[in-house]
A and B are shown apart, each in its own frame.
Chain A
């Protein structure tokens, strides 16, 4: 039943996206594709944080894994796009599994620290394997629209279709997962691990599973972004990206899929919009290139002060329960649960001298 409803909604959205992409200018299609690519990654992260209660500052590294996997498969094996995207999901999921198992015993700030290490270390791998990974220059990912669309079909519209389709499929799967037994178990683990394990849930396995799924989403997002921008290079996957993903998830509203959409929109549109505003008000290039960074900080502070549960939470509060949707993923409002430190007493029990 749930699946049917989600599929119906997705179909409606797909039609809207196709119609819109035809109306929009080529550059807006490009931005739409970027938003969809980031949306996949942010959605995976918001599930990890909001549902399973773990935190990752390293999902940018999984995006790199997906991006490089797709570039390598394209250059060396020449697979078709769908296969490449699926393969990058699998590769990133495998990377997530390895890391997830290794980090399964870590929690809160310690887990964050471990993922932080991943975000810092992984991009430099490209420099170690100059020949295979192209060093700082990276690898190019040149994908052209398929022939049946005709030679004059705008490439950016096709990119928007591909990324939006991938994003929709991801969102349907995540929304269903949330309504499934796994989603309920995650929430149980998030709210109280001890109670969950007393009820017979395998806490460690559930946490690793959440990590794998979020890594898989990041991998797909990275592969899509590589297709859109036409390049994978280590400069794109620095710590800044991982933090930007986290910021987008928090800004949008943790644990909600529409929140992931708001977050991705802010991530893509705010910087370009503000650079344009800066330069059209006569600021020098150097000055207007600093405006987005400053504004991003201001937006973050304002949203966190006014809407502690993110943009989606704010919308829900403004319009009451009637208009916008209740949270897809969670019935409770969870302002940044993952960073909530356990009560001091509990912490001592958990991490006391052993």
Chain B
């Protein structure tokens, strides 16, 4: 008895040790850091930072490739990667090729934390690029900043990425929701004066930031209903009923595409036809049309997606996909037809290519042998607008990205601009003004010049 117990104890110790060794060895051997035996004789390129070798720049991202947020958003990282492939096959960044490693976080913040630890600690990435989602990315901002890993061009318009004193490594990119709310609100104030306004928004930082911007512009007395939704509850009939009961003539929606579609279908069912004004993230006409048709089909009805998106007012900070003569749209079309022909050329693909272009701009500016800090310094000293219709706010004390957008209406599945580009700031009193500088054309090579 005594003997067997002792053997048992020893075995338990041995087993645990073995298990730990297994933990240590599995999937081992990936990515030694930096110093691959670069032939220093032929090139001055050095392994100047983690994730940078003489021949490659490895960056990583967390994206929802499966799960509730995947429809539409899962096109973004393939589109970015397509642009990186294009750059790689045209000489790369000072000769280095970009390696873009994307992990699926299923839009779950806990998986995001694990993914980002893997990217930083095991895959040894130079920077986290375009991590998608407000709740997800908030889970890793502190970690990335304490580890001094550049966390650039987050794919979310939360104002929270602009905290240069506490989180200097993190930067936004897309038009933030406060500015967007102000621009939409300004348009509503001018064009729908005296009408009854209803809000429909996602009950988190995304929707709340948007509402903050709207309230800066729209007179309080005009707002007759404020209805929020929770992205895990797909029944929005109560909110739509309340909007109808309040007699809203214009409904402003800060929603993701699936909930814009649900709002539209529920309104249709109630024979409620307000003018819809939808935030850019929830209004991509192609994504929306697909969702409308598939949701209606699940409910046993047939609708025409394009017909239902017709007339939705929204805003855009990239050139409209409908303007075939725009040099940026021509570039997007070229990248799309060469590398991405399986995906539709929609707003998500344009987003992915445009943000990848911005990253390449910043990397060229960071220099031949950049450290991690060089990338942040490059962004802090400002970037030319590139594919964005409005300038970036980037400076040492501001990490907001795009500062403005044009208002547009959806016609036949594409955006038709309604006016000039409007720019503003995030303060309550800051005016919305017209930005008259016209957009610079895309470089003929499709690659930003160093």
A binding-site residues for B, Cβ under 8 Å: 2, 5-6, 8-9, 12-13, 16-17, 20, 23-28, 30-32, 34-35, 124, 127, 130, 135-138, 140, 142, 156, 225, 229-231, 233, 235-236, 258, 261-262, 265, 268-269, 272-273, 275-277, 279-280, 284-286, 289-290, 323-326, 328
**A12 contacts across to B, CB distance below 8 A:** 13
Main secondary structure of the interface of A (DSSP, over half): helix
**Number of B residues whose C-beta is below 8 Å from A?**
56
Do residues A324 and B110 form an inter-chain contact, with CB atoms below 8 A? no
15 new A-B contacts, CB < 8 A, other than A233-B135, A269-B23, are A5-B6, A9-B13, A16-B13, A16-B17, A20-B20, A31-B23, A34-B114, A127-B232, A140-B139, A229-B113, A231-B110, A258-B15, A286-B78, A323-B11, A325-B7
Q: Do B8 and A231 touch (CB < 8 A)? A: no
Q: Are A261 and B15 in contact (CB under 8 A)?
A: yes
Given contacts A20-B20, A235-B110, A326-B8, whether A30 and B117 have CB atoms under 8 Å apart is: yes
Please give, as numbers and ranges, the residues of chain B lying within 8 Å of A32 by CB-CB distance.
20, 23-24
B128 → chain A closest CB, angstroms: 15
Q: Which of B11, B30, B113 contacts A231 (CB 8 A)?
A: B113
Q: In whole angstroms, what is the CA distance A12 to B17 when docked?
A: 9
Interface stretch of the complex, out of B97-105, B308-316, B347-355: B97-105
Residue contact A235 to B109, C-beta cutoff 8 Å: yes
Are A24 and B24 in touch, CB under 8 angstroms? yes
- Say whether, besides A229-B114, A285-B63, A289-B65, A6 and B9 are in contact (CB < 8 Å): yes
- Indicate if the CB atoms of A285 and B232 lie closer than 8 Å: no
CB contacts (< 8 Å) of A5 on chain B: these are 5-6, 9
Given A138-B135, A325-B15; A273-B26 close (CB under 8 Å): yes
B16 and A275 within 8 A (CB): no
**Complex CA–CA separation, A25 to B26 (angstroms):** 12
Chain B residue, CB-CB nearest to A268: B23
Given known pairs A229-B139, A230-B142, A258-B15, the reply for A17 and B122 (CB within 8 Å) is no
A16 vs B10: C-alpha distance in the bound complex, in angstroms?
Answer: 13
Separation in Å of the A185 CB from the closest CB of chain B?
21
User: Given the interface contacts A5-B5, A32-B20, A137-B138, does A325 sit within 8 Å of B232 by beta carbon?
Assistant: no
Residues from chain B with a CB closer than 8 A to the CB of A140 are 138-139, 142
Nearest CB in chain A: distance from B137 CB, A? 10
B1-52 residues at the A interface, CB under 8 angstroms: 4-13, 15-17, 19-24, 26-27, 30
- Whether B139 contacts A325 by the Cβ 8 Å rule is no
Mask, B332-376, CB within 8 Å of A = 1, is 000000000000000000000000000000000000000000000
In B74-102, the 8 Å CB interface with A consists of: 74, 77-78, 101-102
B12 x A137 contact (CB < 8 A)? no
What is the chain B residue whose CB lies nearest that of A6?
Answer: B9
Whether A236 contacts B26 in the complex (CB less than 8 A), given A258-B15, A286-B74, A325-B8, comes out as: no
- Residues in chain B near residue A24, CB distance under 8 A: 23-24
Contact A235 B107 (CB under 8 A): yes
B109: which of A8, A25, A233, A275 is its contact (CB, 8 Å)? A233
Contact A8 B108 (CB under 8 A): no
Most buried by B among A135, A230, A284, A324: A230
A20: which B residues are within 8 A, CB to CB?
A: 17, 20-21, 24
Closest chain B CB from A278 CB (angstroms): 10
Residues of A contacting B11 in the complex (Cβ-Cβ under 8 angstroms): 323-325
Instruction: With CB as the reference atom, state the residue of chain A lying closest to B102.
Output: A285
B106 CB to nearest A CB, Å: 8
Asked if B230 is at the interface (CB within 8 A of a chain A CB), the reply is: yes
13 A-B residue pairs with Cβ-Cβ distance under 8 Å, sorted by A, are: A5-B5, A20-B20, A23-B24, A27-B122, A130-B203, A137-B138, A268-B23, A272-B27, A277-B27, A285-B104, A286-B66, A323-B11, A326-B8
For the complex, is B231 an interface residue (Cβ under 8 Å from A)?
yes
Q: Which residue of B lies closest to A270 (CB)?
A: B26
> Are B108 and A235 neighbours in the complex by a CB distance under 8 Å?
yes
The 8 A CB mask of B231-244 against A (1 = contact, 0 = none) is: 11000000000000
Interface centre among A127, A233, A273 (most CB of B within 10 A): A233
